[in-house]
Structure 1
């Protein structure tokens, strides 16, 4: 019944137009001298009958369509109308199907993001239990080991920063500002922020970057990427006295910045998967602290900033992580904050 009512409401203007048109034609005949009222009434009624016959045939052909659109859909798939006969309804059906596919794509993206966020939070909470438990045990000892407590606090801080970074990825474009930055100064700032990590693990930074090299990037986000490189390089370098090399090469087209460590390296079977979320690989299982999100976040940030990020590694030799920046020509030079050699000299002072 609802389908019939909808059909009638749609075609009431057509019926009124037909009646007016027939009346106008009869009026023309009357003004022209034609006075046979029976013939006029017969023609008018015949026109109305033909109009209703046309509408009845049209409703029969489109009955399935009208029945479908007045029903209450139980599932999203019910929105896909499969019974269309006219060009207008076929076009409407195609539009609905394209809209449905677009909707499904957005829903899948939201679902994947939500699942990834939930998985990440669950994994992070599980990992935070370890430093909290260790800190609690250390505090119960008669002689409190401040150094060990600081190490556990550093782990929790890095974990919190990872969660905040992951949460801000959804609003990346709103928080992005591209500017020209001296690369050496930027790298030295990251090294300074992680000097305790270097000292604790007995790893030394070596910077070989010309002070004239300037890159166009977002300082806050690229520092997050560099910090992840530093953390990975130090974390997977198990031998004391090893070094992490920071270098850059500039050409006419790009600036290639590399972080090379002397750690355990990454198996070739894992190279193509390390940028996927939650992939820890063989090395992640060795430490038990990997969330599998660090390089995923780094790759996401680089992609959104327009930088190319690639990894080269050899097991037992080390890993090199490289970012290619587009060249930003600028003659201005800015002095670095603190040379990496000073970080090396601070090892013994901060070790105590």
Structure 2
């Protein structure tokens, strides 16, 4: 557009110089001014029309990009010039290639997920046999240690199974009214061997508190929080578990341990994938996955996870359950 203006101005100047210097062209100053005004007016009108025509495609394209529409290919503007047609064809080709690669990646991930789920189910069979052997030989003191180690393996495999199911959580989600204490008690029962090994006592508020949530996925979150509390609690320590309802009606589950706590500079990153922090490195027991997975599931099912901790004074983790699960409302 600027080049057109420069070209027109140069042409106009040369035309005026030619008219002014050529004695054969008798033209008054007023006539020359009139000619200049006429040419400039015509050029401005042409410029405005051309600007509108040439920018209409770009404006529509920018509008589509700001809309973040998943079906933007269907909304591509009609081409005005040949370059617009080329642009449309290029964008469509790139999008199709991207969709193809994405489809291949999803297929590969699905195969890997299916393989992982099948592997976990296969491994669970010998683990079940091991558990039956442990239960049948509890009179031997060494069985307590064996059971604690069995539990660690069981938890790792079970977590792997949940990880493989997370991408399809939306299809495996059922809301139901349940008692929060029962959810916690079920997980504590499974973790009892670990607590006995470390001589950890549980101080739990046994009052009933009805909530609406998905029991299976909520138990998964609770399991991650409890395993962290047990892992970092000192031998002979106590884990405090309490439930209450906020003024707004939200049910809250709080788990407090007497572990080493979390430094203030690590708190904002505790839910990051792979982050272990100073405490995890000190105990050489952290994978950086437990809290990350708990947070990912919590966000999907509408639970708010919060952590309050002071280094050297334990950790306080809270699960706040929604009154109406927004995820389920969206899915409907």
Give TM-score, length-normalised by structure 1: 0.55
Cα gap change, 1:110 to 1:282, in 2 (>3 Å): farther
The 5-angstrom pairing of residues 233-312 of structure 1 reads 233-312=229-308
In the TM superposition, what are the counterparts of 1:1-352 in structure 2 within 5 Å?
Answer: 85-98=82-95, 145-208=142-205, 210-211=207-208, 213-327=209-323
Q: Closer, same or farther in 2 for the Cα pair 1:251/1:285, shift >3 Å?
A: same
Q: Deviations over 1:309-352 (max 9, x none)?
A: 121111111111112111269xxxxxxxxxxxxxxxxxxxxxxx
Q: Is this contact kept in 2: 1:203–1:244, CA < 8 A?
A: no
Runs of 4+ in 1 over 4 A off after TM superposition: 97-115
1:280 Cα deviation after fit: 1.7
Q: CA deviation at 1:293?
A: 0.9
Encode CA deviations 1:151-190: one digit per residue, 9 max, x unaligned: 2212211121122121221221222111111112222222
What 5-or-longer segments of structure 2 have no aligned partner?
1-80, 113-139, 326-332
Secondary structure class of the residue paired with 1:278: coil
**Other structure's SS at 1:309 match:** strand
2-structure distance, mates of 1:114, 1:283: 36
Output the CA distance in 1 between the equivalents of 2:215 and 2:86: 53
What do the CA deviations read for 1:9-30 (whole angstroms, capped 9, x no partner)? xxxxxxxxxxxxxxxxxxxxxx
* SS of residue in 2 equivalent to 1:269: coil
Q: Are the structure 2 counterparts of residues 151 and 239 from structure 1 closer, same or farther at C-alpha, using a change threshold of 3 Å?
A: closer
Q: Normalising by the residue count of structure 2, what TM-score does the alignment of the two structures yield?
A: 0.58
- The alignment partner of 2:256 has SS state of strand
- Please give the alpha-carbon distance, in whole angstroms, between the structure 1 residues aligned to 2:316 and 2:207: 19
1:225 deviation in Å?
0.8
Distance 2:97 2:244 in 1: 48
Structure 2 distance, partners of 1:308, 1:153, is 31
Where in structure 1 are there 5+ consecutive unaligned residues? 1-83, 116-142, 330-352
SS of alignment partner, residue 267 of structure 1: coil
State the 1:243 CA deviation.
3.0
Residues 243 and 251 in structure 2, CA contact (< 8 A), matched pair in contact too = no
Query: Shift of the alpha carbon at 1:291?
Result: 1.8
Deviation at 1:290, TM superposition (A): 2.1
